[in-house]
C-alpha cells in the first residue's frame, strides 16, 4: 500500500540529523522510514497544507473487487467494495486523520484488501471534518452510514447479524463511538476493528513521555481534540460517544481487535480500553507491536512486522464475521 499522501505533507525538516536520529531511537529497524521523522505536527497553519494534499482521483482498480459510490440519506457518500465471492458479512470502515483531515479515498487499497481477503463487503464512509464541523457532525455521518448499511442489507444479500465497524486512528475512535451508540440503540454490531484508535481526549493533559514523537504528535493531538470538542474539553464532561474511552460501562459491546504500536501516542489509552473491555466481559484481541509508531503500517507497509500487523487485523475480521452455524 502506498501512503506518501495518506499522512501529512512534509513541510520542513524536523531539526538536525542528530535530532532525527534521537526521534527514531527505539523504532524497530524495519520501520525506520525517513519520512517518519520529518512529518510536522499539525496546527492552524499546517492544516490547510495537509488538506491540500491530494490522493488518487476516480475509482480505484479493484483487483477482483467491485467498487461503487453511493449517497447516504442523512450522511455523506460511501464507497462499497464488493468481493468476487461475498460471504454475507459487511464492515463499515472509517478513515483516519484526527477528525480534521482525510477522506475515504485514502483507504481504497486497505478496503480492497479487506474485501478481497475476507469475502466481506466493505463500506467506507465520508464524514464532515472539524473544526468547521465539530462533534457530533462526523459521528452522526458515520452512524448514518451504519444505518444505511443495515437498511440495505437484505437487498445486498448481507446478514445484518454479521456487520462490523472498524477504522484507523481517528477513524478507530469514531468507530468505537458508533459501536457504543449502536449498542445503546439496539442496532446489531458483531465486531469492532480498532486500528490504533484515537479514544481519549484526556491524553492531551497527561505527562509527556517517549511516545508520540513520530507522525502523530502531542501537538497534533491537542489541536485535533480542540477542533473536535472545543477548548477545555479535558477538564469538563463531554457528550456520550465523543471520546469513547470516557464511557464507564462497557458491558454488552461486541468483540474487539485493537492494534497499536509501542511508540504510538495512543498506546496507553488503547491498552487501557482493551483491558476495560476485557474486564467487562467483552472478548478482546490486543496486539501491541514493539518499536511501532503511529501509522507505521502505512509508511513501512512492506516491513515484515507491518505485514504481520495487517494479517492479524484481517484474520480477526475473518474470524469474527464468519458465517454462523
How does pLDDT run across 191-210, given as a tens digit for each residue? 999 999 999 999 999 998 98
Residue 217 lies in a domain: yes
Residue 7 lies in a domain: no
- Return the closest-CA partner of residue 295 out of 228, 220, 186: 220
Positions annotated as catalytic residues are 169, 264, 294
Residue 90 lies in a domain: yes
Domain count, the chain: 1
Q: What is the pLDDT of residue 18?
A: 60
Q: In this structure, what CATH number is given to the domain that contains residue 156?
A: 3.40.50.1820
**Taking 50 as the threshold, does the pLDDT of residue 154 lie above it?**
yes
Helix axes 108-118, 304-320, angle to 10 degrees: 50
Q: What is the pLDDT of residue 61?
A: 65
At CB < 8 A and 24+ separation, what contacts does 3-7 make? 3/295, 3/298, 3/299, 3/301, 4/35, 5/53, 5/54, 5/55, 5/106, 6/55, 6/106, 6/295, 6/298, 7/35, 7/39, 7/215, 7/295, 7/298, 7/299
Q: What is the pLDDT of residue 230?
A: 98
Q: What is the pLDDT of residue 79?
A: 98
| Whether pTM exceeds 0.85 | yes
**Taking 50 as the threshold, does the pLDDT of residue 8 lie above it?**
no
Chain centroid, CA 68 distance in Å = 21
Residue 95 lies in a domain: yes
- Return the closest-CA partner of residue 260 out of 314, 222, 297: 297
Tell which wins on pLDDT, 290 or 7. 290
How far apart are alpha carbons 257 and 182 in whole angstroms?
A: 18
Domain that holds residue 184: 63-321
Residue 262 lies in a domain: yes
Residues paired with 166 in a beta bridge: 93, 193
Residue 41 lies in a domain: no
Sheet holding 163-168, edge to edge: 66-71, 77-82, 121-125, 90-94, 163-168, 191-195, 256-261, 284-289
Residue 3 lies in a domain: no
Contact 318, 114 (CB under 8 A): no
Residue 169 lies in a domain: yes
Amino acid at each position: 500500500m502506498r501512503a506518501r499522501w495518506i499522512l501529512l505533507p512534509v513541510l520542513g525538516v524536523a531539526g538536525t540529523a542528530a535530532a532525527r536520529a534521537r526521534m527514531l531511537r527505539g523504532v524497530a529497524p524495519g520501520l525506520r522510514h525517513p519520512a517518519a521523522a520529518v512529518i510536522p505536527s499539525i496546527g492552524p497553519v499546517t492544516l490547510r497544507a495537509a488538506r491540500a494534499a491530494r490522493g488518487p482521483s476516480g475509482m480505484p482498480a479493484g483487483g477482483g473487487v467491485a467498487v461503487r459510490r453511493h449517497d447516504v440519506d442523512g450522511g455523506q457518500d460511501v464507497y462499497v467494495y464488493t468481493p468476487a465471492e461475498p460471504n454475507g458479512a459487511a464492515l463499515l470502515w472509517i478513515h483516519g486523520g484526527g477528525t480534521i483531515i482525510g477522506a475515504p479515498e485514502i483507504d481504497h487499497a486497505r478496503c480492497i484488501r479487506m474485501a478481497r481477503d475476507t469475502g466481506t463487503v466493505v463500506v467506507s464512509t465520508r464524514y464532515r471534518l472539524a473544526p468547521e464541523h465539530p462533534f457530533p457532525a462526523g459521528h452522526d455521518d458515520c452512524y448514518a452510514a451504519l444505518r444505511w448499511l443495515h437498511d440495505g442489507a437484505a437487498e445486498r444479500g448481507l446478514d445484518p447479524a454479521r456487520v462490523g465497524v472498524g477504522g484507523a486512528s481517528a477513524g478507530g475512535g469514531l468507530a468505537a463511538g458508533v459501536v457504543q451508540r449502536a449498542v445503546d440503540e439496539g442496532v446489531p454490531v458483531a465486531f469492532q476493528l480498532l486500528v490504533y484508535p484515537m479514544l481519549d481526549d484526556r491524553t492531551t493533559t497527561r505527562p509527556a513521555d517517549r511516545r508520540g514523537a513520530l507522525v502523530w504528535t502531542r501537538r497534533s493531538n491537542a489541536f485535533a481534540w480542540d477542533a473536535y470538542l472545543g477548548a477545555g474539553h479535558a477538564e469538563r464532561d463531554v457528550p456520550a460517544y465523543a471520546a469513547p474511552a470516557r464511557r464507564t460501562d462497557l458491558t454488552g459491546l461486541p468483540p474487539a481487535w485493537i492494534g497499536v504500536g509501542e511508540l504510538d501516542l495512543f498506546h496507553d489509552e488503547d491498552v487501557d480500553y482493551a483491558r476495560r473491555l476485557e474486564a467487562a466481559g467483552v472478548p478482546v484481541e490486543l496486539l501491541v507491536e514493539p518499536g511501532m509508531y503511529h501509522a507505521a503500517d502505512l509508511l513501512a507497509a512492506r516491513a515484515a512486522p507491518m505485514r504481520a500487523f495487517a494479517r492479524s487485523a484481517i484474520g480477526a475480521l475473518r474470524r469474527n464475521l464468519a458465517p454462523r452455524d
